């Protein structure tokens, strides 16, 4: 991934009913003690504990402190200014849950848990930008973190801060936060504290950590993490030709996963549970298929009405035949989008690590 990941793996303990047993997957999620992440078959809490959230640092972890921290706003604004962290904390407060997913999550068998659902607290960005006076020619907001490194551009090294941009209409949406708390506690250094951007419905690369500067520009920002990295290459077949396109990683794709299978006491059936998520539109359904059978509707439970959060789902599998079985889920939203299979035209020619949202089969033995 070209990134440093913090160490610590703190799995969630499965809260099984008395006598209920996990049915182990034949393709278990690898455990990596050097990467904090969700362990799907042990997931029970809709809100992910901070210590189980994945972390990514492209230029390492800068030394940060809430004391003296400030956010500078400049570029194409009428009134450039600096906001002290305490001033940001005194502004109107907003808190909501939102799912944060690494755009590389699910691209490799060893990285399936780069996701978490947290409760984020902060103040909306839009009123601050408007106070500074957005100039008419501004089209983008560019967000910079305190982390920095050298980048080679046309044969020369240039010092660069991590930076990502949003089109101005996206930056001005009321759900975009300057966040200083995660799950009721100040955001720690590993997760981008003391101040990070929260952009619900977008992959984690847009949630700039250690945020200390915002600039408004009148042209596209094309630094490494916008124009050269976090770019997805996809091919489209047109007759006997393939048309290749490079697209920036942005909003989260529609996705689901089978998280665990359990055997309940006194029952000949199994319970299959999992999670589904997307960039905000309501889900119409989550469906499950066993082997080559038909798609069957699962029950959507916790999180069903939360737009930018994962949804937990379950399915009672009655009287499965003894032997090995393959289970796969797919999510469908109300816009008619369906989570694709790996061979579907939309993704079969995707050649890059990012934005994996293919259906992910899991195997069990009954």
Domain ranges of the chain: 36-231, 255-365
Q: What gap in Å lies between CA 192 and CA 69, rounded to an integer?
A: 13
pLDDT tens digits for 51-71?
999 999 999 999 999 999 999
| pLDDT given at position 109 | 79
Under DSSP, is residue 52 helix (H, G, I), strand (E, B) or coil?
helix
Q: What is the mean pLDDT of residues 282-305?
A: 96
Read off the pTM: 0.93
306, pLDDT greater than 70: yes
Dihedral angle over CA of 301, 12, 103, 347, nearest 10:
-60
**What order of strands is seen across the sheet that includes strand 362-365?**
296-297, 283-290, 324-333, 362-365
9, pLDDT greater than 90: no
* 212 in Cβ contact with 331 (< 8 Å): no
Dihedral angle over CA of 118, 328, 35, 161, nearest 10:
-70
| pLDDT given at position 265 | 82
Q: What is the mean pLDDT of residues 217-222?
A: 97
Q: What is the mean pLDDT of residues 141-157?
A: 96
Give the chain's mean pLDDT. 93
| pLDDT given at position 15 | 60
Closest CA to 52 of 63, 61, 60, 40: 40
Confidence of residue 16 (pLDDT cuts 50, 70, 90): low
Q: What gap in Å lies between CA 69 and CA 146, rounded to an integer?
A: 10
CB atoms within 10 A of CB 138: 18
Q: Does domain 36-231 have CATH number 3.90.420.10?
A: yes
116, pLDDT greater than 80: yes
Token pair for 5: 């990941």
Q: What gap in Å lies between CA 60 and CA 70, rounded to an integer?
A: 20
Confidence of residue 36 (pLDDT cuts 50, 70, 90): confident
327, pLDDT greater than 80: yes
Q: What is the mean pLDDT of residues 117-134?
A: 98
When the candidates are 3.40.50.300, 2.60.40.650, 2.60.40.1180, 3.40.50.2300, the CATH number that belongs to 255-365 is 2.60.40.650
More confident residue, 156 or 35: 156
3, pLDDT greater than 80: no
List Cβ neighbours of 73 (8 Å cut-off, separation of 6 or more): 80, 81, 82, 83, 128, 129, 132, 213, 214, 215
| pLDDT given at position 268 | 84
Question: What percent of the chain has a predicted confidence (pLDDT) above 70?
Answer: 96
Output phi, psi for 327, to 5 deg: -115, 135
Token pair for 237: 């077949």
249, pLDDT greater than 80: yes
Question: What percent of the chain has a predicted confidence (pLDDT) above 90?
Answer: 88
Token pair for 304: 């069903």
């Amino acid at each position: 991934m070209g990134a440093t990941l913090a160490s610590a793996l703190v799995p969630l303990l499965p809260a099984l009913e008395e006598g209920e047993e996990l049915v182990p997957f034949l393709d278990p999620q690898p455990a990596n003690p050097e990467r904090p992440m969700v362990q799907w078959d042990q997931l029970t809490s809709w809100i992910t504990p901070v210590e189980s959230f994945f972390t990514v640092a492209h230029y390492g972890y800068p030394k940060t402190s809430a004391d003296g921290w400030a956010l500078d706003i400049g570029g194409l604004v009428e009134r450039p200014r600096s906001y002290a962290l305490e001033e940001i904390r005194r502004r109107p407060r907003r808190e909501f849950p939102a799912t944060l997913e690494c755009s590389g999550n699910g691209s490799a068998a060893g990285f399936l848990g780069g996701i978490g659902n947290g409760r984020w607290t902060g103040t909306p960005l839009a009123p601050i930008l408007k106070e500074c006076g957005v100039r008419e020619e501004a089209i983008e907001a560019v967000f910079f973190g305190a982390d920095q490194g050298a980048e080679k551009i046309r044969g020369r090294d240039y010092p660069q801060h991590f930076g990502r941009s949003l089109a101005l209409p996206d930056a001005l949406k009321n759900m975009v936060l300057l966040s200083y708390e995660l799950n009721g506690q100040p955001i720690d250094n590993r997760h981008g504290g003391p101040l990070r951007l929260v952009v619900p419905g977008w992959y984690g690369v847009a949630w700039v950590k250690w945020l200390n500067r915002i600039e408004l520009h009148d042209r596209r920002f094309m630094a490494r993490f916008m124009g050269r990295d976090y770019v997805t290459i996809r091919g489209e077949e047109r007759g006997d030709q393939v048309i290749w396109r490079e697209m920036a990683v942005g909003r989260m794709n529609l996705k689901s996963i089978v998280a665990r299978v359990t055997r309940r006491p006194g029952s000949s059936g199994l319970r299959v549970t999992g999670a589904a998520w997307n960039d905000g539109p309501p889900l119409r359904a989550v469906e499950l298929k066993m082997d080559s059978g038909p798609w069957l509707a699962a029950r959507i439970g916790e999180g069903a009405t939360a737009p930018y959060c994962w949804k937990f789902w379950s399915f009672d599998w009655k009287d499965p035949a003894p032997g090995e079985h393959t289970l796969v889920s797919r999510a469908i939203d109300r816009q008619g989008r369906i989570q694709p299979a790996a061979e579907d035209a939309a993704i079969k020619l995707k050649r890059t690590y990012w934005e994996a949202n293919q259906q992910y089969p899991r195997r069990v033995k009954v």
